[in-house]
Structure 1
Amino acid sequence: MHILIADDHELLRDVLRSYLEAEGGFTVETVADLPGALSSMAAATAAGAAFDLVLLDYGMPGMNGFDGLQRAIAESGGGPVALMSGLAPAGVPEKVLGCGAAGYLPKSLPARSVVNAIRFMAAGERYVPLELSRPGPAAGSTEATLSAREREVLAGLCNGEANKEIARNLGLREPTIKLHVKTICRKLGARNRTHAAMIAREQSLC
């Protein structure tokens, strides 16, 4: 998995790169500003090795707020671009997703959660920590909108399958399934996976 990390804090870049490479399966490049990120993205695309995910620091040189994020998305050729920041003012996650980004990562996330989120977004999914997401609709609401993948995972929940079984059946990693289950529970207003399955049956979602 080819990842680009753009952040003006050298220590954070090095720590995150070391952690990802120690996990195995990651090739990580790092730059210190947006111009460097755009240059690396262009070079990778020209070489036929576009990044599987680009992670941009919100406050690094060249970003100019969300303008930098939008520029990177425009230059990504359709590849996922995500934003990370040490601060999460109200409404920022929604704005990030509204720009077409793959997600938002607070720098306060535990390292294991960062790795899982990176895998999740590189697989084409969108990620925002649940505590920063808008509250989901109440149980029984028809407003819950599930993606095609979330419906597949929900079908597994309705069949009483464990995360490992669902992951095997869908050809995904178990941490990815866990993230989907959390998102499904939030969208359905469910307390847990069992409650989500109950709501899904009541709403004829599975």
Structure 2
Amino acid sequence: MTRVLIADDHELLRDVLRSYLEAEGGFEVATVADLPAALSLIDEGQSFDLVLLDYAMPGMNGYEGLEAAIAKAKGMAVALMSGMAPAGVSERVLACGAAGYLPKTLPARSVVNAIRFMAAGETYMPLDMMRRQSSTEQCDVGLSQRERQVLSGLCAGLANKEIARDLGLREPTIKLHVKVICRKLGARNRTHAAMLARERALC
């Protein structure tokens, strides 16, 4: 059973999304009306395969709410949705390690597929938004969610051992991720990778 938390201040949208997912089968859906309520459920120890947050609902304060939810969710996939794409949403969402961005204008079938995709641990971004990204943004698209998490640690100046501890992984695994990140970014070493990431607003 895939567990999804939908946080949106529009009751009708919450009900419609829940109906779509439950009709599809295999989904257990919880809904709340604002960010504090979503964070409260996470604090209570409830686990979700995907936490879907409305960009403009109470408590969000734009991307700050998204980043707060990602920090508190500790490994759960967290994604952003909105009726109108905020400026620079693609790079901001991917750079902070979110599972993706879901426009409310998508057809019902596409919404269900996108939610299932993100709940499975993949990253989702609408194709038209991907096409509009610049070449530097496309570099970020090539990074997996785990690689972005490791890159965030590099940007913070953490050692491999510290990144491994924070992510619950072994140090050799982090070393492998660092090598792959350097190759994808065209970096000479971990320090150069962090520098390039900052220049491209990836961290």
Q: TM-score, structure 2 length as denominator?
A: 0.64
Tell me if 1:36 matches 2:29: no
Greater percentage in helix = 2
Residue type at the aligned position of 2:23:
A
Instruction: Describe the superposition over 1:55-108 as per-residue Cα deviations: whole angstroms up to 9, x where unpaired.
Output: 000000000111100010001111100000011133112111111100000000
Cα RMSD of the aligned pairs, angstroms, is 2.1
The CA distance in 2 between the partners of 1:96 and 1:74, in whole Å, is 14
Indicate how the Cα distance of structure 1 residues 56 and 136 shifts in structure 2: closer, same or farther if over 3 A, else same.
closer
Residue 153 (structure 2) aligns with = none
Structure 1 ranges of 4+ moved more than 6 A = none
Q: Percent identity?
A: 69
Residue type at the aligned position of 1:114:
V
Q: In structure 2, the residue corresponding to 1:133 is in which secondary structure?
A: helix
Contact 2:94 2:140 in 1 (8 A): no
Residue 69 (structure 1) aligns with = 66
Q: In structure 2, the residue corresponding to 1:27 is in which secondary structure?
A: strand
Indicate how the Cα distance of structure 1 residues 52 and 135 shifts in structure 2: closer, same or farther if over 3 A, else same.
same
Q: TM-score, structure 1 length as denominator?
A: 0.63
Q: In structure 1, the residue corresponding to 2:44 is in which secondary structure?
A: helix
Residue type at the aligned position of 1:112:
R
Residue 121 (structure 2) aligns with = 124
**For the pair shown, which has the larger CA radius of gyration, 1 or 2?**
1
Residue type at the aligned position of 1:103:
G
Report the number of matched residues: 140
Instruction: Describe the superposition over 1:86-134 as per-residue Cα deviations: whole angstroms up to 9, x where unpaired.
Output: 1113311211111110000000011111111111111111110010114
Residue type at the aligned position of 1:111:
A
Residue type at the aligned position of 2:127:
L
Contact 1:137 1:144 in 2 (8 A): no
Tell me if 1:93 matches 2:94: no
Structure 2 unaligned spans of 5+:
145-203
Structure 1 unaligned spans of 5+:
149-206
Residue 10 (structure 2) aligns with = 9
The CA distance in 2 between the partners of 1:70 and 1:144, in whole Å, is 18
